[in-house]
Amino acid sequence: MGKTGILGGMFDPVHRGHIAAARSALAYGLDRVLLLPCRVPPHRDAPRTEESHRLAMCRLALQGEENMEISSVDLRSGPCYAADTLKLLQKMYPQDEFYWILGADKLEKLSQWRDAAYLFENCRFLICPRPGYDENLTVPGAKTQVLSAAPRDISSSGIVECLRRCEDAEAFLHRDVARYVAEKGLYQRNFVPELLKRGMDEKRLAHTLGVRQEAVRLAYLHGGRMQAAAVAAMLHDIAKPLPLEEMQALANRYALALPRDMMEDGNLLHGPVAAAIARYELGVEDEEILSAIACHTTGKCGMTVLEMAVFLADAIEPGRRDYPGLEEMRKLSSVDLPGAVLLSMQRTQEYVLSRGMHFCTRTQEAMQDIVFRRKNHE
């Protein structure tokens, strides 16, 4: 006969508090803990993200954890009541004893749960302390045991607010979960309708999504801000479909102080104009995101990891057709981000000069800056 813990919830997103509760339950003596993502929770708003995303995040959060499994039993249609879930699990594991893992904040209303008498008779409750709640509260009929876990004040809603501020919330989220969130654009504003409304075609949108994926990967590898990289990548080409004259008009409207070589070239101008659109028309206030958008084609002196990630992602995203130096940049990007950025700029310089065109002054300055910083081991 085994001892199985049940940890249910929306896991929207799954966080370190969930995993800590499962570990405490295992330390109490359980043989395994089942994480049960819920499709339709009773008496609560619907999840913010699709079940496929929540399942994927749970899988990532359980990497390296022993005796923890994911069960899809609560992904059935209709409201998921605990008593019904327990009955299903009893059929699946007829020899097991069941322990429901519960936060102390749920104790006060436990007796009001549907078919509570059945739950009280057929399972025990392991209580995780929560700040501000009495984990020793007596619930008539329920068999409870307080877990020896430090109280944690972690909530999914609080984490979502952090993510919306483009914080990776790594104090609360497994880094791989935070990366997944950024790659998929979860909990952020959906910019796709805005991009399409402003003239972006499907090919450019596919490129944009590829840049987001690659920028997040680079930020993940090199300690950058993943959520910020995702937002900057989604908006980096929002001005690209505009005619040069319209870009110039927007640059003048928003008083962008740009050199002549940038004002006369749409390939260079669309970055700063995109940043202006993001700031003044879409309400983006994060200065590093705006800077990453603005310099994604030219670079600049003193580039941050985020700015380099977006710059390089634009050059090497998975959908890019092969061109000289692409594979070398891709290989280098995983181990030497500044080196890969410098290589990209050098290849662009070679291409531009070989055609007798003017090479952007700002990019020349950025290259010199990277060389100087590398030489001085900044």
Domain-located, residue 372: no
In a domain, 328, yes or no: no
Q: Which residue has the tokens 């055609």?
A: 355
7, 141: one domain? yes
Last residue of a domain, one of 293, 322, 351: 322
Looking at the structure, tell me whether residues 151 and 7 fall in a common domain. yes
Of the candidates 331, 248, 348, 249, the one whose C-alpha atom is nearest the C-alpha of residue 296 is 348
Q: What is the pLDDT of residue 153?
A: 77
Note down the domain range covering 106. Answer: 3-158
- pLDDT for position 298: 97
CA distance 340 to 214: 13
Per-residue pLDDT tens listing for the chain (378 residues) = 799 999 999 999 999 999 999 999 999 999 999 999 998 777 777 889 999 999 999 999 999 999 999 999 999 888 889 999 999 999 999 999 999 999 999 999 999 999 999 999 999 999 999 998 999 999 999 999 999 877 777 888 999 999 999 999 999 999 999 999 999 999 999 999 999 999 999 999 999 999 999 999 999 999 999 999 999 999 999 999 999 999 999 999 999 999 999 999 999 999 999 999 999 999 999 999 999 999 999 999 999 999 999 999 999 999 999 999 999 999 999 999 999 999 999 999 999 999 988 899 999 999 999 999 998 875
- Say if residue 27 is in the same domain as residue 146: yes
Instruction: Identify whether 31 is part of a domain.
Output: yes
| Residue ending a domain, choose from 307, 322, 337 | 322
Same domain as 270, residue 142: no
- Per-residue pLDDT, 155: 86
Whether residues 56 and 138 share a domain: the answer is: yes
Q: Is residue 367 part of a domain?
A: no
Same domain, 204 and 106: no
Alpha-carbon span 330 to 180, nearest angstrom: 21
Is residue 34 a part of any domain in this protein?
yes
Q: Is residue 329 part of a domain?
A: no
Q: Please tell me whether residues 54 and 197 are part of one structural domain.
A: no
Gap between the Cα atoms of 290 and 288, Å rounded: 5
Residues 240, 284 within the same domain: yes
Which of 322, 338, 354 is the endpoint of a domain? 322
Q: Give me the number of domains the chain comprises.
A: 2
Please provide the DSSP assignment of 188-232 as one string.
Answer: S---HHHHHHTT--HHHHHHHHHHHHHHHHHHHHHT--HHHHHHH
Whether residues 88 and 214 share a domain: the answer is no
Copy the structure tokens of residue 88. 């299903």
Q: The CATH number of the domain where 26 resides is what?
A: 3.40.50.620
Q: Is the pTM of this model over 0.75?
A: yes
Whether residue 327 lies inside any domain: the answer is no
What is the CA 64 to chain-centroid distance, rounded?
20
Q: Which two tokens stand for residue 181?
A: 């969130």
Co-location of 66 and 142 in the same domain: yes
pLDDT score at 44: 73
**135 occurs within a structural domain:** yes
Q: Are residues 148 and 205 in the same domain?
A: no
The pLDDT score that the predictor gives to residue 12 is: 95
List the CATH number of the domain containing 277: 1.10.3210.10
> In the 3-class helix/strand/coil scheme, how is 36-79 assigned residue by residue?
EECCCCCCCCCCCCCHHHHHHHHHHHCCCCCCEEECCHHHCCCC
Q: Are 7 and 132 within one domain?
A: yes
